[in-house]
């Protein structure tokens, strides 16, 4: 499934480091082969724009190529954040390589609300 590039929220882009040599290699790859890996987005609330958590470089390079769409997939955080209205289940842990790897346990409010219905 494709996502319009103007729809994505890049609010955490400045937290990522830039490596010009890697960007040149990836740009060449995008020109020759196209996008191989999807970007990862989460939607904290149904009314908010999808927030990119992985793939800032791909978005930047696709825009440089004049593309308006990109492949994407929804991250696990999107599912966790919907389990309760307070969002307390969205505690994420990170590795030293800055990859999202795990999420806090559910607060139980989702099972409590399911039991009431």
Per-residue pLDDT 10s for the chain (117 aa) are: 788 999 999 999 988 889 999 999 999 999 999 999 999 998 877 778 899 999 999 999 999 999 999 998 887 654 444 444 444 444 444 433 444 444 443 444 444 444 444
What are the residue ranges of CATH 3.90.1530.10 in the chain?
A: 2-74
pLDDT at position 109, please?
43
pLDDT at position 19, please?
93
Count CB-CB contacts under 10 A for residue 37: 10
Overall pTM surpassing 0.75 (yes/no): no
- Tell me which DSSP letter residue 9 carries: B
Q: If residue 29 lies in a helix (H) or strand (E), which one and from where to where?
A: helix 20-32
pLDDT at position 77, please?
52
pLDDT at position 78, please?
41
CB 30 within 8 A of CB 63: no
CATH architecture under which domain 2-74 falls: Alpha-Beta Complex (3.90)
pLDDT at position 89, please?
45
pLDDT at position 38, please?
92
């Amino acid at each position: 499934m494709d996502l319009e590039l103007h729809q994505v929220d890049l609010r955490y882009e400045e937290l990522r480091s830039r490596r010009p040599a890697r960007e040149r290699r990836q740009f060449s790859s995008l020109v020759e082969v196209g996008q191989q890996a999807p970007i990862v987005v989460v939607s904290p609330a149904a009314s908010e724009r999808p927030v990119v958590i992985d793939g800032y470089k791909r978005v930047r390079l696709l825009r440089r190529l004049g593309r308006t769409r990109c492949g994407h997939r929804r991250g696990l955080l999107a599912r966790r954040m919907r389990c309760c209205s307070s969002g307390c289940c969205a505690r994420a842990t990170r590795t030293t390589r800055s990859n999202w790897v795990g999420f806090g346990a559910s607060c139980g409010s989702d099972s409590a609300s399911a039991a009431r219905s």
